[in-house]
Structure 1
């Protein structure tokens, strides 16, 4: 297990991020076009701990690195579980998992990381999942149950046969509402979210269309009520104009110019500055960097509105400066 540099959410200190070798001990079909993987250490020893909402990166070879939510039991130190949807128009990662990965194969895994942490700070939790977005929600449900929260899950999919973990969810009875679109139509988001509730946290993961509609309906809810996770960028994330600016690297004393047609990450890499990164589209959180001075122009799909407002963190693969200069803790 090797250590890679990474930054914790909300802090400046450098901590190690684990890079772990695992073995695929089980591969199974969970639903139409959904493959489940169970991953364990080659020697059967413990894996790095994680909490509900966390994801890992599978290093699949040929330049393919993909993030998948952990959907198993955080209290099981010896096994990780992920579920992978075959993306028909994807970039090759899911096809590799479905078509090439087999039981007994070894993989390098980075993480876990968590930008979708479950914090049951209000009496009620409403979970909304669309399709494969059920994966980070599963361990949250178990945590909500253990915390004594009043929770409910609404889980939609195109059809029942495409929805993973239905049998696993049956034990929760009426707390879980499953809504295959071909049977019941689209989720009734107006009924679920039409009236703001100060005692409720909403957690949502799924396709962009669902996330956008949930965000729109929760706009008038109390701040901090909605938490979402994306694995694709927001459609508007890169739409704003791009201007040149400077970045000062506080730890090295260097100042670099970022032209309009390049990202901070690209400029740093060209200058020989080692920065951990992965998706390069503002969705995984790997390149999160502390901002010491200046105002970031946030274009990521990870940070909450409160975190954006604080202005002390940014994703340097896509976000830019709202002024002529930024000082970063690099």
Structure 2
């Protein structure tokens, strides 16, 4: 997960497999909460043991966090790619909320290291169903090992929201275009922003008021199409809002044939500064999340092209 370096802000449908297989579990879990003392013990024990500078808590020590530490229960898991697993978490505590793009401190009973994972779902899903979604790449970091090897339905954890990288426009704010630039699992907070933007557009279309979102363009790079996370969700939004949402998907090490469904959106090779530069305007905000070299390159190129610093938002992950 990432450390915040520089900052500035659908009602997605729960997948059918999740509704059919775990609906009963989630319904029963609405009334479930870890006790306050258990949550406090879990959090303090993890904080005291997380002393290495490479740990998430150390890297983000100066980053703003909410006070609420909420119990969460695993309601479903999905293999998003050969190396990435997503978690569907029920968070019954109504004091728990987040802004699109933020992450959570992830406390696991029996694991002394605290994880840090970006939320990839929309705030609307939490408001309507008390659910959040995380997608975690396998590494030898203890929280990631637990998620991939030990996490199961009904596993109990605790979460706390943090981060200054988010998109949270107010109804009276001026319309903005968004350019989202993602590398690898850096798609997670940007997918949350994309989903939130779709929610805002739906709300305005249905009610005739609310924030007026501009256009959204997603640039997303991964090694190959199997590592392009949530590609079906992304294309569904592109097809739902063809005049509002566009995407360009890049693969740098593709060795197999690209499917007909994906081919119109795929470019082989790396995304370039020129492609991003073509989207610069005074009404555009840029959100970048990916490996540090990629994030550094595009943020510096945007500055060189006279994009105001307050219009460039980025988060680095390792």
SS of the residue corresponding to residue 96 of structure 2 reads coil
Pairing partner for 2:163 from 96, 114, 132: 114
* Aligned pairs for 1:79-158 within 5 A: 79-87=131-139, 90-109=140-159, 111-119=160-168, 123-145=176-198, 146=200, 147-158=212-223
Greater radius of gyration (CA): 1
Contact 2:179 2:279 in 1 (8 A): no
Aligned with residue 89 of structure 2, among 32, 39, 57: 39
How far residue 70 of structure 1 moved from its aligned partner, in angstroms, is 1.0
- Say if 1:80 and 1:15 are closer, same or farther in 2 by CA, change over 3 A: closer
Residue 179 (structure 1) aligned with residue 250 (structure 2): yes
Deviation at 1:148, TM superposition (A): 2.3
Q: Which runs of 5+ in 1 are unaligned?
A: 6-13, 233-330
How far apart in 2 are the matches of 1:191 and 1:57?
35
Relative distance call for 1:186 and 1:15 in structure 2 (3 A) is closer
- Matched with 1:227 is 313
Residue equivalent to 2:299: 215
TM-score, length basis structure 2:
0.62
Alignment of 1:244-255 (within 5 A): none
Cα distance change on mapping 1:122 and 1:212 into 2, 3 Å: farther
Whose strand fraction is larger, Structure 1's or Structure 2's? 1
Paired residues for 1:21-36 under 5 Å: 21-36=71-86
Whether the 8 Å CA contact 1:194–1:217 is kept in 2: the answer is: no
Q: Check the 8 A contact 1:196/1:222 in 2, yes or no.
A: no
**Alpha-carbon distance, 1:206 to partner:** 1.0
Gaps of 5+ in 2: 1-35, 45-63, 201-211, 255-267
Structure 1's 196 and 40: CA in aligned 2 closer, same or farther, altered over 3 A?
closer
Per-residue CA deviations over 1:203-247 (Å, capped at 9, x if unaligned) read 011111211111221122223121001234xxxxxxxxxxxxxxx
Number of residue-to-residue matches in the alignment: 219
Instruction: Report the CA distance between 1:198 and its aligned residue.
Output: 2.2
Aligned counterpart, 1:191: 275
Structure holding more helix per residue: 2
